[in-house]
Amino acid sequence: MEAAGKGLRIGIVGGAGWLGGAIAAALLDAGIASPQDLVLSYRNQQPDRFPGALWTRDNQALADRSDAIVLCVRPADWPDLDVAVEGKLVISVMAGIRLAALCAHHQTRRAVRTLPNAAAEVRKSYTPWIATGDIDDTDRAVVRAIFDACGVQDEVRTEAEIDYLTGLTGSGPAFPALLAEAMMADAIAHGLDRQIARRAVNAVLVGTGRMLEQRDDCPTETVRTFLDYRGTTAAAIEEMRTAGFDIAVARGLKAAFEKSVSMGESS
């Protein structure tokens, strides 16, 4: 293959959805696929995007026309997705659905379980993934190319790690948003104009993300720097921890992990 994924016909079940559309856009932007290489399915109304790509409501036709099939549907809807791929590469982005279940349901031994997150829309997703033993180096190169186009990716060792990362990275973008919501509410409660509070909080989070990305420091080192300075930030950190900040985060991640496991057991 000239370049990983280049010329590969990629079908995205749920291509009209938010995540399916984000993956399709990333593939096109990165030059991994041309519009003619994409087959996208939709439920109700065909989206007015990706001109040149093939849109269909027939998921089996999508699979028949594709070399690799990306499953971008809700886990609750997946049991009703009656699509046989007959040995082709299947890439799931669904939380909780096990490799064994994917293989049995879609009649293939070449399955990959991945977990991109909301930041795929801005090409900043972190995507962990794990594959069956029948995946070869060419398939691995395809998976890496797809999710490098969406941000960064790592192949992990076990499905238990994917289940844990469901909370840590799959749900992860919601957590800074949750922090931002709490910070904004407190700012408004102290009399700040809503627009000023929103701009201030968003700027803090975006700036912190860029700083961590460029410096590539461990977050522990950043926190320790502020604690050692013994100023207003140290006072805030210590009060938040006393109020149970670390415990709340750990409990949230535990709940996401348990939900991922239970979803897999019911599939």
- Which residues does 45 contact at the CB level (< 8 Å), separation at least 6? 16
pLDDT score of 265: 80
Determine the residue type at 265.
E
* pLDDT at 153 > cutoff 70: yes
Domain with CATH 1.10.3730.10 in the chain: 174-265
Mean pLDDT along residues 102-115: 97
CATH 1.10.1740.10 fits 10-157, yes or no: no
Sign of the alpha-carbon torsion through 186, 187, 193, 195: negative
Note the helical H segments in the chain.
18-29, 59-65, 99-106, 137-149, 159-165, 174-189, 194-215, 219-229, 232-242, 245-265
**pLDDT (mean) for 27-46:** 96
Tens-place pLDDT, residues 113-143: 999 998 999 999 999 999 999 999 999 999 9
Q: pLDDT tens for residues 174-229? A: 999 999 999 999 999 999 999 999 999 999 999 998 888 888 878 899 899 999 99
Residue carrying structure tokens 């990362």 = 165
DSSP β-ladder status, 151-155 and 125-131: parallel
φ, ψ at 69 (rounded to 5°): -120, 120
pLDDT at 2: 44
Q: Are 217 and 224 in contact (CB under 8 A)?
A: no
Q: What is the CA radius of gyration of the chain?
A: 21
Helix (H), strand (E) at residue 126: strand 125-131
Looking at the chain, the domain(s) classified CATH 3.40.50.720 span 10-157
pTM of the entire predicted model: 0.86
Q: What is 174-265's CATH topology?
A: ProC C-terminal domain-like fold (1.10.3730)
